Copies of this chain bind each other. A is one copy, B any other.
Amino acid sequence: MNAMTKTKGTQVLPLNTILAGDCIEQMNSLPAESVDLIFADPPYNLQLRGDLHRPDNSRVDAVDDHWDQFASFQVYDDFTRAWLKAAHRLLKPNGAIWVIGSYHNIFRVGASLQDAGYWILNDVVWRKSNPMPNFRGKRFTNAHETMIWASKSEGAKYTFNYEALKALNEGIQMRSDWVLPICNGGERLKDANGDKAHPTQKPMSLLHRVLVGSTNPGDVVLDPFFGTGTTGAVAKMLGRDWIGIEREESYREVATRRIADVRAFDRSALEVTRAKRAEPRVPFGQLVERGMLSPGETLVSPTGKIARVRADGTLVGDGVKGSIHQVGAHLEGAPSCNGWTYWQFRKDGKTVPIDVLRQQIRAEMADRA
Contacts and interface: CB of A to CB of B under 8 A. Distances in A.
Contacts of A140: 122, 124, 149, 165, 173-176
A293 to B, nearest CB: 11
Contacts of A286: 168, 180, 205
A144 interface: yes
Contacts of A111: 73, 107-108, 110-111
A69 B209 CA distance: 30
B141 A162 contact: no
Contacts of A146: 123, 146
A272 interface: yes
A204 to B, nearest CB: 6
A5 interface: no
Contacts of A266: 295-296
Contacts of A283: 168-170
A144 B291 contact: no
Residue of A65, A312, A314 ringed by the most chain B CB atoms within 10 A? A312
B205 A365 contact: no
Given A73-B114, A148-B103, A310-B269, A176 B142 contact: yes
Contact of A175 (B103, B143, B294): B143
Contact of A125 (B125, B180, B316, B367): B125
Interface in A243-268: 265-266, 268
A73 B115 CA distance: 8
A139 interface: yes
Nearest to A161: B312
B311 A270 contact: yes
A364 B129 CA distance: 8
Given A138-B162, A266-B296, 8 more contacts: A107-B109, A122-B139, A129-B365, A212-B312, A237-B295, A265-B294, A272-B314, A273-B321
Give the 3 A-B residue pairs with the shortest CB-CB distance, closest first: A107-B110, A168-B285, A269-B295
16 contacts: A65-B154, A103-B123, A108-B111, A129-B368, A130-B367, A134-B173, A144-B177, A170-B283, A170-B323, A205-B286, A205-B291, A237-B295, A268-B296, A269-B308, A270-B295, A270-B311
